[in-house]
Amino acid sequence: KQTLAEINHSISLNYYKLDSIENFLYHMRKAREFAIEADHLYIEMLTFNSVLQYHIDVEKPDSALYYARLTLDAARRYGNPYNLTGVYNMASSAYILANRHDRALQLLYKALALGEENNFTPMLAWTNESLARVYAEQGDHRRAYHHSSALNALKDSIFKMEQQQKILSMDRKFNVA
């Protein structure tokens, strides 16, 4: 059974897909209110993250930075390393948008450390892609290449895992030994 916070968050995301920004923001506010009222920290974090993504998409650096801080705070309080890794990545995008590459790099290296510590392969791919982009923008081609290479290796690893899962699935489906 979904909570009112979860329902409003889902509704909000659908309005975003429909490019109905006023309704997106309204339902996101309602979702956050319900989440805070019910002490539902996960949904509170998701609402901040969704609004952060919106402000990054429309290239509003000041409001993106504001929501980056709120999202980071909520993710830290929530305490899930996977979610925190994703939030570090998302928040770094706000700092990149605001041309604050130093802070973006700090967050990305936190994401990298958490991703490596917990073997979050998709998050590591995202982090390395972002690191490569920041270093390329700064003209540090050696580091950009290093993180691009790491990204490619992770993509290969993800592809191999997906192929192995498909083979296992077909193996189970057709009982091929």
**CA separation for the pair 58, 37 (Å, rounded):** 29
Q: What does the block give as tokens for 145?
A: 């290449």
For the cut 90, the answer to whether the pLDDT of residue 71 exceeds it is yes
Q: For 51-70, b where at least 16 C-beta lie within 10 A, e where not — what string?
A: bbbbbbeeebbeebbbbbeb
pLDDT over 70 percentage in the chain: 91
Tell me the pLDDT of the chain averaged across its residues: 90
Q: How confident is the model at residue 101 (pLDDT cuts 50, 70, 90)?
A: very high
Q: pTM to 2 decimals?
A: 0.81
Q: Which of 126, 123, 88, 80 is nearest to 109 (CA)?
A: 88
What is the average pLDDT across 162-175?
71
pLDDT per position as a tens digit, 121-141: 888 888 989 999 999 999 999
pLDDT at 177 over 60: no
DSSP SS3 for 121: helix
